[in-house]
Amino acid sequence: MTKTFAGQTERDIERLANALGDPTRRRIFFFVRSAGELIGKDEVSEGVGVERRLAAFHLDKLVEQRFLRAEFRRRSGRSGPGAGRPAKLYALADSELSVSLPERHYDLLAQLLLRAMSDRSEAPAQAVLERVGYEFGREIGLRQLAERGDEATPLRTHSTTTEAIAEVVRLLSRYGFAAESDGTDTIKACACPFEEMAFHDPARVCGLDRSIWRGVLSAFAPDATLAESTTRAQGDEACVAHVVGA
């Protein structure tokens, strides 16, 4: 992606990708978050299984990126001479206390953003982001077919579009969309793995997740297309799209 991100939303997205794109740093962040209290680098080192110096490096980077906060405190509660030096302890930053998304959501978003940011084509930024989403969706759909022993070609195991939609719904739900279908041509999602960002920038982030939907659909129903009708980030009750043209 050749164009630089501009504005607060772009800076937030880049911050997320930079902070959580490294797998060790992600594990450390989620370990600290799960602790629910101030925690030291020794505990992080042991819990995550990395060397103390590396744990401290990633912890300080997460503080720098404002995902964690740090403070010095004596764990014993003692003060005065002989109490020892205060330890540097870490906890979830106040700005992140409202984050309730499971780990895989951060993981997925960081991976996709990093893929898009590494693109060196001259394509518009949004087109690159949506292409990355589509390719990811198709990739996981084809992988699902391969794992089941189905051929990754136009539907050989699904006699109806409804059956293909059911497969799409199951796979999207695995990645945090809480998708469902009423047996018609409708795909409905009552959750979004990118929800925090989507409400700040629905055009960009909703474009990414709908591209994932289209990519998954292409694996199970290559002749079908997706028509969006409602979006939670725009104030609707749920994200709804209709499968057409199969």
Element (H, E) at 232: none
Residue the block writes with tokens 């590396």: 54
* 3-state secondary structure at position 193: coil
Q: Among 219, 217, 246, 244, which residue's Cα sits nearest to residue 229?
A: 244
Tens of pLDDT, residues 29-75:
888 887 878 999 999 999 999 999 999 999 999 998 888 999 998 76
CA distance linking residue 144 with residue 83, whole number of Å: 58
> What pTM, to 2 d.p., does this model score?
0.62
Q: Where are the alpha helices (DSSP H) in the chain?
A: 7-20, 23-35, 41-48, 52-64, 103-117, 125-148, 161-174, 195-198, 202-220
**Cα dihedral sign, 142-148-153-157:** negative
Q: Which band of pLDDT confidence, cut at 50, 70 and 90, is reported for residue 155?
A: very low
Q: Which band of pLDDT confidence, cut at 50, 70 and 90, is reported for residue 7?
A: very low
CA distance linking residue 199 with residue 205, whole number of Å: 9
Tens of pLDDT, residues 83-122:
567 889 999 886 554 444 455 566 677 778 788 888 888 8
Q: What are phi and psi of 86, to 5 degrees?
A: -65, 145
Higher pLDDT, 105 or 6: 105
All structural domains of the chain, each given as residue ranges with its CATH number in brackets, are 7-96 (1.10.10.10), 103-244 (3.30.1380.20)
Mean per-residue pLDDT for 5-30?
66
CA distance linking residue 163 with residue 120, whole number of Å: 38
Tens of pLDDT, residues 170-191:
999 888 888 888 888 999 988 8
Q: Which two tokens stand for residue 114?
A: 């990093």
